[in-house]
Each structure stands twice: as structure tokens, then as C-alpha cells.
Amino acid sequence: MNKNDPRIQEELELCDKRIAELEEYVSMAEALERLHENEDFKKVILEGYFEKEAKRLFGLLVDAQPIKRESMENIIEMLNSIRHLKQFHRNVILNNAIAKENLEYEKEYRKKVKAGEVDLDGETEAIGGGA
């Protein structure tokens, strides 16, 4: 493939876009890891909200005291909010591992595209090499 082929520039731009997206995933996960190490965050969110508040709300649902339907719906909505935030945290952490792996691959692929070692028609070969 000719190094001056406009498809190379297009592919490099796509690589740069994918690399930026992957770096954002990694950055977000690193920020979340720092938060999880912060004592105030642990106290307020991880322990206070995820654990204590969830137990308190669940306790209200299973209490023998009758509660109004509207109150029950509000409690369930609050429990769902906790669940969604916990899922978000878990997804950020899981996506980080995948993003790191893909980031290394994408950077290596970009180098090969820039060096002209990728045939954008689907076959890989070195420039000047050939069938």
C-alpha cells in the first residue's frame, strides 16, 4: 500500500479517535480507584450509601409495619438508585481491564498503519513487500 494513500490518514484518524475513547475509560477507572481509596468517599458512599442506606431501606420494606403504596414505590426507587450506581462502579472497573488491553492493541495497530504495514483492503504486508 502506498504511504500517500488517503485511506491511511483516515485510518490513523480513526485510530486516534479509538485511542482517545479508550484512554477516557482508563482515566475514569483510575479516578474511581482514587475515590475508593479516599476515606471520606468510603465513609459516605461505599459504607454509608451502598451498605447502610441500602439495609435501612430494605428494612423498611420487610418491616411488619404497614406502609403506603407510594412510600413503598419511593423506597424501591431509592434501592434501584443504589443498585444502578453500584453497577456503574462495577462496569467502570470491568471496562478498565478491557480498555487497557484494547489500548495497547490499538496503539500497536496505529504504528503499523503509519508505517504502511497494513493493507487496508484486509491483508497485512510490509510496504514494498509483496505477494
Determine, yes or no, domain membership for 1: no
pLDDT value at 125 more than 50 = no
In a domain, residue 45? The reply is: yes
Q: Is 56 within a domain?
A: yes
Please tell me the total count of domains within the chain: 1
pLDDT at 1: 53
Q: Is residue 130 part of a domain?
A: no
- Residue 125, in any domain of the structure: no
User: Which domain does 42 fall in, by range?
Assistant: 6-114
**Which residue's C-alpha cell is 485511542?**
19
* Cα gap 89→13, rounded to integer Å: 30
Domain contains 28: yes
Q: Residue 127 and residue 106: Cα distance in Å, rounded?
A: 20
Summarised one tens digit per residue, pLDDT across range 22-56 is: 999 999 999 999 999 999 999 999 999 999 999 99
